[in-house]
Structure 1
Amino acid sequence: MKAFRGLLVPLFVLLSGCSTVLMAPSGDLAQQQRNLIIDSTLLMLIIIVPVIVLTLLFAWHYRASNKQATYDPDWDHSTMLELLIWSAPLLIIIALGALTWVSTHKLDPYRSLDRLAAGRPMPADAKPLTVDVVALDWKWLFIYPEQGIATVNELAAPVDRPIRFKITATTVMNSFFIPALAGQIYAMPGMETTLHAVIGQPGEYQGFSANYSGDGFSGMHFVFHGMSDDGFAQWVQKAKGEGAALSRETYVKLAKPSQNDPVRYYASVEPGLYRAILTRCLDPDSPSCMTRMKAPAGNAEAMRERQAAEGTQTMPMAHPD
């Protein structure tokens, strides 16, 4: 018994550093994902637990010292046993498949939210807060186009207001992840991914990159603040009052690789900066600028119309696989 306790002590010490935020999140999307994990686990345990129990029971019952156990070396088939062995796992697989199929569509990060929380449908007049997310080496840039501000390694949003993240990267693939808010989604150069989410409780939550991206990967952390509407307005004013202007020249300096960057605020953002980052057109004459690439003949007219509407050259982004 003492030896067993001795083994448990280092185990508990190792587990003491683990966080349970994934199983107790504050965002509705993350809560639904948590519920999917629990439901899937319970469905699988319907098979796993009886198999483990019966394995131990059979081993005990048919042990060599049990002379009362029936010895039948010629037995080879039981229709009833075959039905039990195959039908139960088949039903579990069907249930898991149905649950996964429904959840995959319902929790699609590109899908607009239809509720704030369980039993709380999304108000008809709710306007999502748009945040443009750029994964740099090795820091996060957040641009708020409606508020006209930007921040580095700090993110904020009002409680119970839907958030629409538009996510891209500059050099290598990263993964944008706030465990308390929603599942992770990849940030890829030259592509835009989308995440819809909502935070249900005020507080400070950790965000980070969940995909290894080089030397400074371990320092790609940021704080996500869930705030009241008034608190968020004050936070925006703080950024406007303390920050400088984020121009293309400033961004080029910011985008240079650096590690463990402090929080920074930018009081204004040059129009079209996020689109230029996305299409790799900070320098319009650069060969990597996506708007310089030849568009398919069938899409040329549509692209010209879109460029005229946006007042700039852009290239439509496809939904990633």
Structure 2
Amino acid sequence: MAEQARWSDMRYVLLTVVLIGATTLGGCSEGVLDPKGPIAFAERQILFNATGIMLAIVVPVMLATLGVAFWFRASNERARYLPNFEYSGRLELLIWSIPLMTVLLVGTVAWISAYDLDPPKPIASSAKPVKVQVVSLDWKWLFIYPEEGVASVNQLTIPVGAPVSLELTSSGVMNSFFVPQLAGQIYTMAGMATHLNLQADYSGTYRGMSANFSGDGFADMHFNVDAVPPEDFANWVNSTRSAGPILDAQAYADLVKPSKAVAPFTYRAITPGLFAGIMSTESQSDEGLCVKYPKSMRAEQ
């Protein structure tokens, strides 16, 4: 009876492990393990490579631990007991060489990938890149399309198969831009611009988010990336130009005020040089942020 109870308990333990594993893997359908673009795919491959290299030492160590425990059990009379053992050069070489090779392999993979996946490095493609200027606000995302002359809030629309060149900054608090299925995360900081390139190979809606805590509205600071066919992207640009407000200095001053869970909306036109003006933002009062615009923009107000 005791033996049956023990095997019954083991079955429950195994079932629990399987259910936890299935639940954990079930959360990967919209994450880094389900890439939809070349950058995200390459980053997943790095993760797999590094995991495989580390498992090459973790698995043997776990098996060796079980093997040592089994061999030196009390009932094994063939196991030699060496209480005066102190040093073995061969064992020292084995113990230190395997972790050293593991570190060298993982470091080599990371070093090569750091150059291949450098965020500002353009993606080789025959399609014309789409330029997007990104501003992290409290607590929302502003996407400016300088060549198309439109802008959107909490919605990034891109054409499938075309590289997207992002230039990112912040209106104040440092933040982190992250679209797990398309590219790695990169920080946004006030007064400076970072660069990130990504590409969607499949149509769909992908989740984008803030990966750096930035205040009360951080939990709602997410957006959708709509990857659509090139013709649908052109239609979206045309429809955006036909309706909606204009993103000028006053509209931006209203937008930059802290707000939570903002529904996506668009601007049909933008003031030239707006992103450069945002880059020079400084805090001048307790009421909010005041933007120092170039002379050409001040003249239009």
For Structure 1 versus Structure 2, the TM-score category normalised by the shorter chain is 0.7 to 0.9
Aligned residues: 285
Per the alignment, residue 274 of structure 1 pairs with 275
Per the alignment, residue 196 of structure 1 pairs with 197
Q: CA deviation at 1:92?
A: 1.8
Per the alignment, residue 188 of structure 2 pairs with 187
Q: Do structure 1's residue 158 and structure 2's residue 159 form an aligned pair?
A: yes
Per the alignment, residue 4 of structure 2 pairs with none
Per the alignment, residue 28 of structure 2 pairs with 19
Q: How many angstroms apart in 2 are the aligned matches of 1:164 and 1:67?
A: 69
Q: How many angstroms apart in 1 are the aligned matches of 2:43 and 2:96?
A: 29
Q: How many angstroms apart in 2 are the aligned matches of 1:155 and 1:275?
A: 20
Q: How many angstroms apart in 2 are the aligned matches of 1:281 and 1:58?
A: 64
Q: How many angstroms apart in 2 are the aligned matches of 1:5 and 1:46?
A: 24
Q: How many angstroms apart in 1 are the aligned matches of 2:129 and 2:296?
A: 24
Instruction: Tell me the SS of whatever aligns to 1:56.
Output: helix
Equivalent AA in structure 1 for residue 181 of structure 2: A
Answer whether contact 1:276 1:282 (CA < 8 A) is retained.
no
Q: Structure 1's 58 and 95: CA in aligned 2 closer, same or farther, altered over 3 A?
A: same
Q: How many angstroms apart in 2 are the aligned matches of 1:40 and 1:160?
A: 28
Equivalent AA in structure 2 for residue 98 of structure 1: T
Instruction: Tell me the SS of whatever aligns to 2:268.
Output: strand
Answer whether contact 2:150 2:270 (CA < 8 A) is retained.
yes
TM-score for the superposition, normalised by structure 2: 0.87
Q: How many angstroms apart in 1 are the aligned matches of 2:180 and 2:99?
A: 32
RMSD: 2.6
| Runs (5+) with no aligned partner, structure 2 | 1-7
Q: How many angstroms apart in 1 are the aligned matches of 2:291 and 2:222?
A: 29
Per the alignment, residue 209 of structure 1 pairs with 210
Q: Output aligned runs, 1:107-146, within 5 Å.
A: 107-114=117-124, 122-123=125-126, 126-146=127-147
Per the alignment, residue 83 of structure 2 pairs with 73
1:223-254 Cα shifts (integer Å, max 9, x gaps): 10111110101111221123211111011011
Which of residues 108, 117, 126 in structure 2 aligns to 1:98? Answer: 108
Per the alignment, residue 53 of structure 1 pairs with 63
Equivalent AA in structure 2 for residue 157 of structure 1: I
Instruction: Tell me the SS of whatever aligns to 1:195.
Output: strand
Answer whether contact 2:39 2:199 (CA < 8 A) is retained.
yes
Q: Do structure 1's residue 29 and structure 2's residue 30 form an aligned pair?
A: no
Per the alignment, residue 52 of structure 2 pairs with 42
Q: How many angstroms apart in 2 are the aligned matches of 1:282 and 1:131?
A: 25
Deviates more, 1:242-251 or 1:77-86: 77-86
Q: Output aligned runs, 1:197-276, within 5 Å.
A: 197-276=198-277
Answer whether contact 1:133 1:140 (CA < 8 A) is retained.
yes
Q: CA deviation at 1:69?
A: 1.0
Per the alignment, residue 4 of structure 1 pairs with 13
Answer whether contact 2:134 2:141 (CA < 8 A) is retained.
yes
Q: How many angstroms apart in 2 are the aligned matches of 1:282 and 1:53?
A: 59
Instruction: Tell me the SS of whatever aligns to 1:22.
Output: coil
Q: How many angstroms apart in 2 are the aligned matches of 1:257 and 1:112?
A: 33
Q: Structure 1's 156 and 37: CA in aligned 2 closer, same or farther, altered over 3 A?
A: same
Q: CA deviation at 1:66?
A: 2.0
Equivalent AA in structure 1 for residue 78 of structure 2: Q
Q: CA deviation at 1:186?
A: 0.6
Instruction: Tell me the SS of whatever aligns to 2:263.
Output: coil
Answer whether contact 1:248 1:282 (CA < 8 A) is retained.
no
TM-score for the superposition, normalised by structure 1: 0.82
Q: How many angstroms apart in 2 are the aligned matches of 1:87 and 1:9?
A: 35
Q: Structure 1's 258 and 86: CA in aligned 2 closer, same or farther, altered over 3 A?
A: same
Equivalent AA in structure 2 for residue 4 of structure 1: V
Instruction: Tell me the SS of whatever aligns to 2:128.
Output: coil
| Runs (5+) with no aligned partner, structure 1 | 115-121, 292-306, 314-321
Q: Output aligned runs, 1:167-178, within 5 Å.
A: 167-178=168-179
Instruction: Tell me the SS of whatever aligns to 2:104.
Output: helix
Q: Quick one: percent identity of the two aligned structures?
A: 40
Answer whether contact 2:175 2:214 (CA < 8 A) is retained.
yes
